Structures are given as structure tokens and as C-alpha cells.
């Protein structure tokens, strides 16, 4: 029974029994305490805790989860996986223990032909909390389980709580007995791998307080609404129903394992350490695929770090399996095909997913290449010096400078018969962490140290006059150079200038700072930036272009009027786009950040999927209709509570005082809290041209637009391109898409014919290649460059044909060619050559090293590649040298 079929049966069963089927939440949870959705209950916490009324009395789901706390155990046990799917049924004050037990037993033991999962009751065991007589008696009454297969266990295994005050309760777990071949008799109480937990029924019935530990607390009493929270591991059910030994061999995971086997040329089941590596690859590739699909991208912190760690563990495992070159293109595509039935997004979003995966692999392979070269030098130096250990400082340098993992250093050193001074390495790592923490604390103090502005702020708030004036006369309150207060700044210096009043807008609310100048008696300052270092105070970062500016002197701020007008257009356009989004997508499409500068806006909003071309057009049309309608733009100052009562929307990330500024465009159609500058009427925006829409996370999207003259120039440029195409192709504008599609199809057909001709040309060289075989020791060898070729498959086919023509005596064929400018080498051997010691994988690896790349494969056929096509002759020489050394 396929994994997707098990999930379908589960959801169908509970839907027939009155449950609302809830789609899986994202792996990226909204819970600030969690990086990922680590359990099936996470999306339901607000309902289970009673903070939010549940929208349904009972529900069921198949929730995707990521958990990496046991990452080192992956591959070593039959059930540890980083990505897993948790089937759950939930009751929010509806049915309780009897219903949960009845549903679980019926689904598990009903015949497959009746829609059940078809488990033999004789294979099932149950555990209950040792004091939960009610659950124990229900299992006896509702099922045909004998009393000896219902075991009572303690709080450490059969009591659920969060470890915090709140809901808690006993649980009952269902186990599958895999049989005596897998361990000792005695039931789940033995804690043996023979008994696999497949379903956990949590009876959330008590409220606890005075929590001293996860299992030591005071029960206050029963909850007014008792809840059911169950979880059945889909992967565990799958490996049992599919008759395999572990989750890595199920239909959604095994294809990746098999692909890794093929890439490595090794056999699964022949070596325990290799088997663990194969399972790590299979698990981590799927986990990385699903994280990428939910919008996580590789980085050095948070969720991105976990993803990066998973991907790099795959690369390391493949390297230890003998594959030095890139593998993600194959492995991720295989995982995509295995998962797309259950999660179509992995196929529909494949281009973006694969782009991130391949880029991360390429980066880390470069890291490994640089680190390996240095490690090889250290190993050679150690052997030459007659020592058996690589110093901790050398291992730390590899880690710190090249990002080379310490465990890989240990593996490679061990293969070379050396050890590593791990204690010294760990000491250096601890010292580095201590320095990093101290540096972070120092930088935090520096960023938080605003005491230099204290005296200026004590003189009152900076008065901003820029809503009505583009020039304002004031006086210099302070001058700062390099963060220190000084009495003056002279020509050429960069300084901060504090004024009592200013017409220059300080960056905030997504609107960038104004451009302009500050002038006074004998000085002129070019304004580089305007910020609010502390609330109520505006600081101008300037370059003194003429004279010197001193504290106490008069100064006039002059705003660049053209830049300000364009910035106002962009800011007002942002409000229009926000309103258009909400009109089109609904009120949940709320702002999550923005950037407005002259002629350009960027707007982030809460939304979980890409916008279609039609939707983008509709949003753009609504916003431009608002421009056409010349809507009045008004601003009002009022209390925060009053503004909220009027429906004014707050800007993402902004903090507001008791008094706020409300900007209306067209009355309530667009009403937001905003301190930015705006046009007087929507017609002044001019034109809005949406030029981009993209993802900025699992639940946020981003639109970008050009505004005003910038929007017009972009459209004019596109019009010019269309005119050029219509002239060049002699095709009317409305027929261009069809004409271009026809040309693309013709080009594809021509390329196919060319490839066929090139393949035939290669095949015509077969007799000459066979005739040119030379004797190299015990082997007949064909080592030739083909020049250029269309594909590696063509080169591989020809190599196999040459090998077969050489007969039964020991033969080695090595063919190299440049494919799209990149070199490739194919090496193949016959049975007699392999018996004499020639291994294609070893020879391909040697040739690829000369090409500046990597390679490997099976003993009979292998492939390598690199970056230096000029080194093809050297690659062939490397094959002959390796044969001589064999």
C-alpha cells in the first residue's frame, strides 16, 4: 500500500465520521518559539489551549513536520527521520477517550477491501498511563485485545504535557509487533525495536500548574472542555504495510536511496556504514526538498541554517560513498518525482527549488575542494615527518577558513592511517565561540549606545516641517564626527548634524530619506542620509562640501523637490497597491513591509502562493483606476484608538504613540496609519506599472512597481522592443507570440537534427577508434579525444560500442569530449580488464582530476567532468598513467 494511499484512507475514514479535513500547515510555523512545525499538534495549539475557539468540533489532517534534534540517529534506526508526516484526528470538546479508541481500532483493524488498514489484531499492543483505569477498561471493552497486551507505563512515556502550566493528560499508545526476528518478547515495556509505536492517543483532560519538570507538576483539576490529540506516523505505517524494514525503504524515500546507490556504484545492504550513509542521503534530500518547497532557503542562521546543514550532510555522505562530483540534480529530481503525488508544489515550483539546491551544492563542493587540497598537504607533511597525528590547529584552520567539516577531516585522516588532535581542535572551537559571543555583546552595546544624542534630545523634539515646506531655517544644535560630539566639521569631512527644525524627511515607514542640502553662512552640506537615532530626534548625515559648519550657527534645510515629488508618488502608489491587493485577494493580504523611493516601490504582503498573470493585471488595473479617478488624499492627526476604530491599517514593523497620523486616499478605500509624505491627489501618482512578483518566504509575497515617469519609460522601452520585433519578423504585434513560438519550435527541431547528425558522425568513427587501440601492459587501450559532442550519452554509447568491438581480451576505453564548452570523460572496461585490476571509476576519477573536476562510478563504466576543456589530452594521459600504476 503506497504512502499516499494510506493517507487517503485515513482522511476518508475520518471524513466519513464527521471530521473536517484540514490541509497541512506549512513547515514554517508562526509560533515564535519554534523554527519548524515539529509535531502534528502545532497548528492546533490555539484551539487545544482554549486561546482561540476551534472552528470545528472535530478535525483530521496529514501534517508535514520537520524535527532535527535526533539528526545523528538518522539512518541508524528504522524510524528516525527529519521530515515526517503525522496523521492526526482531533476533538475539541466533542468525543473523548471512548471515541478516540473506537476510531483508532476500527481504522487499524478493518479489512483493506472495506477501506481500512488491514492490521491483524494479534500484531497490536497497547500501552496506557499506569493510573488511567478508564482507558485500560475501554480498551478491554471496545476491542478484542487480551489484558496481557495492554501494558501500564509511567509518566515518562504515557503522559503528555508541554512542560508549562496549562493543559495536560494521559496518553495511550498503539504498537505493532514486528515478530521474534526483530527482538525479544515482552511487549512495548521492553523498549525493544521489535515493537514499533504507530499511534499515540493523547487524552487532554487536566489543567496543571506549579510545573517543576515535564513530569513533575500539580494537577489543578479537569479541563472544562476535554480534547483529543492523536498522531499516527505515516512513514511508520508505510514501512509496515509495504513489508520493508524501515522508513527509508518506503515508496516516497527508497527511490532517492536507489539513485544514490547508482551514482556511487556501491551495493545497498553490503556494508553497515555505507547503508547508514545511503539512508542519510535519502532522508535529508527529501527533507531539504520539502523545506525549499515551503520557502526556506539556505543561510547561516535559523531555518536556513538547518536546511544548509541537511544539504551539506548529503554532500558529505555522498563523498564518503565515493562520489566527489555534483549529485543534487539527480537526487532532488528523483525525490520530486516520489513526492509530487502527495505534494504537487514540489513539481510546480521545481525551477526555484532546484535553483537553490544546485547553487548550494556548487558552493559547498568548492569549499570541499579547497579544504581537501590543504588537508592532503597536511597528511603528506605528517607522513614525511613520521608523525601519526594531524594537529588540532591544522584541523581548526580547515574548519574556520575553508568551512571543511571536522568529521570529514577525521574520516579522511583515518583513511590515511592518521589521527587528529581532537582535544586541541575542541579547545580552539570553544575559544572562537567565546570571542564571537564577546564580539556580539560588544556590537550590541555599540548599537544600543545612543547616549551621545541624550543632550540634544533633552532640548526637545526635532520639528519636521516637510509636510508643507521644502525649505526651513533653523540652527545647528550639534555636530558629530566618528560618533563623537565636536564643535565643528570642515570641508571634506563626513559628519552628523542635529538641527532644531528640518524640512528633510528621515527614513521611516518604508520611505527612504530625502535628498537635499543644508546651507548656512559660508558653508554648504550635501545630505547623504537622514535618520531618527532616538525617538523624536532627527540626525542628518552630511558631507561638508564648502566651508565649515559649527554648533550654534544658522542653517537652512533645502529639499530636492524633484526627488521628493517622485518619492511621494511612490509612497502614495504603495497605498493604492495595498488597497488593490486587498480588493482582489481579500482582507488577509496585509502589508508585511515596504520600500518607497523616487520612481519605485516594493511591497511585501501576507499571501501563500504566487499571483497569476490575470491577478497581477487586475491589481494593476484597480490601482491605476484609482489614479484616473483623482481621489483626494487627506491627512488627519488623531488618537490611536480612534484611528483603529475608523479601520486605519498599521504599517508592518512600526511602533505608534498615542497620537497618530492617518492618511486617507478616496476616504475609507485606503486608510492607513502613516507618517510619510504623499501627493495631494491620486492623479499626481501618474502611472503604476507592476514589474515583478516573487516569494519572500513561505507565507509572504512581494510585488515591485515603477511609478510616474519611471513607469512610463519602462513601458516605452517595451514598446520599442515590440516595434523592433514586428519589423524584424515582419509580423503584426498581435501575432508576435504565435510567430515567436513557431520560430522556437523550428529552432528546437533544427537542434534535434544537428544532434542526430553529430551522433551519426561520432558513430562513423567507430572503426577507426577500434583500429587505433594500443597495447598498454596487459590491456588493449583506446584513449581518444572526440573534440566536441552533443551529449555525454552519445559519448557513452560510442565508448560501449568500441569496448564491445575489442572482443574478450582485457580492454579499456577512455573517450573525452567537450560538451557545450565543458569537458567530459567516459571510461569503460570489459570483464577481462576488471579481472586484471582496471576499474573504470578509479580511472574516471583520475581523468577528472586533470580536468579540474571530479568523477567516479562503477567498475565497468564511469564518468567524470571538470571546467578546463584545454586539459582533455592531460586527462587521457592520466588514464594511461593510472593503468600503469594499477
DSSP state letter for 280: H
Check whether 571 is labelled as a binding-site residue: yes
Check whether 678 is labelled as a binding-site residue: yes
Sign of the dihedral through C-alpha 396, 398, 399, 400: positive
Cβ-Cβ contacts under 8 Å for 365 (sequence gap 6 or more): 315, 324, 325, 326, 854
For residues 692-704, one letter each, b for 16 or more C-beta atoms within 10 angstroms of the residue's C-beta and e for the rest, the string is: ebebebbbbbbbb
The torsion angles phi and psi of 874, rounded to 5 degrees, stand at -65, -35
Count of residues making up the chain:
886
SS3 866: coil
- The beta-strand segments (E) located in 727-791 are 774-776, 779-788
**Contacts for 275-279: CB closer than 8 Å, 24+ residues apart:** 275/75, 276/75, 276/76, 277/75, 277/317, 277/318, 277/320, 277/321, 278/75, 278/248, 278/317, 278/321, 279/74, 279/75, 279/246, 279/248
Three cell numbers at 203? 487524552
DSSP state letter for 730: T
Query: Which candidate, 558, 564, 562, places its Cα nearest to that of 542?
Result: 558
- Alpha-carbon distance of 276 to 260, in angstroms, equals 12
- Alpha-carbon distance of 671 to 676, in angstroms, equals 13
Vertex 445 angle, CA 442 and 446, to 5° = 85
- Alpha-carbon distance of 155 to 171, in angstroms, equals 9
- Residue given cell 515535564 in the structure block: 214
- Alpha-carbon distance of 79 to 100, in angstroms, equals 24
Check whether 272 is labelled as a binding-site residue: no
- Residue given cell 485485545 in the structure block: 145
How many angstroms separate the Cα of 310 from the Cα of each of 186, 288, 361, 510, 584? Answer: 37, 7, 11, 35, 39
Q: Which residues are annotated as a binding site?
A: 571, 575, 674, 678
Q: Which residues are annotated as a binding site for Zn(2+)?
A: 571, 575, 674, 678
Amino acid at each position: 500500500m503506497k504512502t499516499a494511499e494510506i493517507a487517503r484512507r485515513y482522511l476518508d475514514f475520518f471524513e466519513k465520521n464527521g471530521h473536517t479535513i484540514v490541509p497541512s500547515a506549512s513547515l514554517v510555523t508562526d509560533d515564535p518559539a519554534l523554527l519548524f512545525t515539529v509535531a502534528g499538534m502545532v497548528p492546533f495549539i490555539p484551539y487545544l489551549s482554549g486561546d482561540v475557539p476551534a472552528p470545528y468540533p472535530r478535525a483530521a489532517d496529514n501534517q508535514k513536520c520537520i524535527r532535527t534534534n535526533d539528526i545523528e540517529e538518522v539512518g541508524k534506526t528504522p524510524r528516525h527521520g527529519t521530515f515526517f508526516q503525522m496523521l492526526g484526528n482531533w476533538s475539541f470538546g466533542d468525543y473523548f477517550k471512548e471515541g478516540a479508541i473506537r476510531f483508532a481500532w476500527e481504522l487499524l483493524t478493518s479489512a483493506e477491501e472495506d477501506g481500512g488498514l488491514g492490521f491483524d489484531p494479534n500484531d497490536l499492543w497497547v500501552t496506557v498511563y499506569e493510573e488511567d483505569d478508564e482507558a485500560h477498561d475501554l480498551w478491554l471493552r471496545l476491542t478484542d485485545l487480551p489484558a496481557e497486551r495492554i501494558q501500564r507505563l509511567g509518566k515518562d512515556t504515557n503522559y503528555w504535557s508541554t512542560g508549562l502550566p496549562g493543559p495536560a493528560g494521559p496518553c495511550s499508545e498503539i504498537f505493532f509487533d514486528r515478530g521474534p526476528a526483530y527482538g525479544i518478547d515482552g511487549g512495548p515495556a521492553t523498549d525493544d525495536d521489535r515493537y514499533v509505536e504507530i499511534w499515540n492517543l493523547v487524552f487532554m483532560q487536566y489543567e496543571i500548574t506549579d510545573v517543576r519538570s515535564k513530569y513533575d507538576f500539580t494537577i489543578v483539576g479537569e479541563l472544562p472542555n476535554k480534547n483529543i490529540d492523536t498522531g499516527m506516523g505515516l512513514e511508520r505505517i508505510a514501512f509496515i504495510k509495504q513489508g520493508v524494514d524501515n522508513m527509508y525503504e518506503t515508496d516516497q524515500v527508497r527511490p532517492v536511496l536507489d539513485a544514490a546507490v547508482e551514482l556511487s556504484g556501491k551495493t545497498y545492504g553490503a556494508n553497515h556504514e555505507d547503508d547508514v550513509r545511503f539512508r542519510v542521503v535519502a532522508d535529508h534530500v527529501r527533507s531539504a526538498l520539502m523545506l525549499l518547497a515551503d520557502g526556506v532557503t539556505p543561510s547561516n542562521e535559523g531555518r536556513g541554517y538547518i536546511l544548509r546543514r541537511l544539504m551539506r550532510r548529503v554532500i558529505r555522505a555522498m563523498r564518503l560513498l565515493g562520489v566527489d562530483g555534483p549529485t543534487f540534480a539527480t537526487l532532488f529530481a528523483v525525490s520530486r518525482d516520489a513526492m509530487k503525488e502527495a505534494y504537487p508544489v514540489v513539481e510546480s515550483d521545481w525551477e526555484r527549488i532546484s535553483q537553490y539546491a544546485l547553487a548550494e551544492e556548487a558552493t559547498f563542493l568548492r569549499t570541499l575542494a579547497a579544504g581537501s587540497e590543504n588537508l592532503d598537504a597536511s597528511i603528506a607533511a605528517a607522513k614525511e615527518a613520521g608523525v601519526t597525528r594531524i594537529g588540532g590547529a591544522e584541523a581548526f584552520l580547515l574548519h574556520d577558513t575553508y568551512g571543511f567539516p571536522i568529521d570529514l577531516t577525521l574520516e579522511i585522516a583515518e583513511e590515511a592511517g592518521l589521527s587528529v588532535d581532537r582535544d586541541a581542535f575542541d579547545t580552539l572551537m570553544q575559544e572562537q565561540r567565546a570571542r564571537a559571543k564577546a564580539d556580539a555583546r560588544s556590537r550590541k552595546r555599540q548599537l544600543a549606545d545612543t547616549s551621545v544624542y541624550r543632550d540634544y534630545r533633552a532640548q526637545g523634539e526635532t520639528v519636521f516641517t516637510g509636510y508643507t515646506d521644502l525649505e526651513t531655517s533653523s540652527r545647528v544644535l550639534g555636530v558629530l564626527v566618528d560618533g563623537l560630539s565636536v564643535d565643528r566639521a570642515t570641508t571634506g569631512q563626513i559628519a552628523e548634524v542635529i538641527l532644531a527644525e528640518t524640512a528633510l524627511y528621515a527614513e521611516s515607514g518604508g520611505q527612504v530619506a530625502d535628498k537635499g542640502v543644508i546651507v548656512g553662512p559660508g558653508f554648504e552640506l550635501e545630505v547623504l542620509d537622514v535618520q531618527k537615532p532616538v525617538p523624536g530626534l532627527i540626525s542628518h548625515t552630511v558631507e561638508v562640501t564648502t566651508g565649515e559648519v559649527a554648533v550654534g550657527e544658522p542653517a537652512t534645510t533645502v529639499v530636492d523637490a524633484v526627488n521628493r515629488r517622485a518619492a511621494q508618488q511612490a509612497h502614495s502608489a504603495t497605498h493604492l497597491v495595498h488597497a488593490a491587493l486587498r480588493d482582489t485577494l481579500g482582507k488577509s493580504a496585509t502589508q508585511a513591509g515596504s520600500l518607497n523611493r523616487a520612481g519605485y516601490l516594493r511591497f511585501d504582503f501576507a499571501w501563500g502562493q504566487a499571483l497569476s498573470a490575470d491577478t497581477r493585471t487586475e491589481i494593476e488595473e484597480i490601482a491605476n483606476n484609482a489614479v484616473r479617478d483623482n481621489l483626494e488624499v487627506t491627512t488627519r492627526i488623531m488618537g490611536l484608538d480612534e484611528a483603529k476604530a475608523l479601520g486605519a491599517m498599521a504599517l508592518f514593523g512600526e511602533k505608534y504613540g498615542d497620537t497618530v497620523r492617518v492618511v486617507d486616499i478616496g476616504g475609507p478605500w485606503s486608510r492607513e496609519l502613516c507618517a510619510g509624505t504623499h501627493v495631494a491627489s491620486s492623479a499626481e501618482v501618474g502611472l503604476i506599472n507592476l514589474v515583478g512578483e516573487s516569494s519572500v518566504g513561505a507565507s509572504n509575497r512581494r510585488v515591485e512597481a515603477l511609478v510616474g515617469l519611471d513607469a512610463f519609460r519602462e513601458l516605452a522601452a517595451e514598446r520599442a522592443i515590440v516595434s523592433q520585433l514586428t519589423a524584424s519578423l515582419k509580423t503584426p504585434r498581435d501575432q508576435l507570440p504565435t510567430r515567436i513560438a513557431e520560430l522556437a519550435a523550428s529552432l528546437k527541431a533544427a537542434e534535434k537534427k544537428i544532434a542526430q547528425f553529430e551522433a551519426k558522425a561520432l558513430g562513423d568513427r567507430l572503426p577507426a577508434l577500434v583500429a587505433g587501440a594500443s597495447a598498454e601492459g596487459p590491456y588493449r587501450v583506446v584513449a581518444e579525444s572526440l573534440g566536441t559532442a552533443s551529449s555525454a550519452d552519445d559519448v557513452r554509447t560510442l565508448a560501449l560500442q568500441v569496448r564491445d568491438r575489442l572482443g574478450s581480451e582485457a580492454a579499456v576505453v577512455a573517450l573525452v569530449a567537450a560538451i557545450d564548452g565543458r569537458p567530459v570523460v567516459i571510461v569503460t572496461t570489459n570483464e577481462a580488464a576488471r579481472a586484471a585490476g582496471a576499474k573504470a571509476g578509479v580511472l574516471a576519477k583520475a581523468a577528472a582530476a586533470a580536468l579540474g573536476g571530479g568523477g567516479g562510478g562503477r567498475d565497468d563504466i564511469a564518468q567524470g567532468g571538470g571546467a578546463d576543456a584545454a586539459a582533455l589530452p592531460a586527462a587521457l594521459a592520466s588514464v594511461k598513467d593510472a593503468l600503469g600504476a594499477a
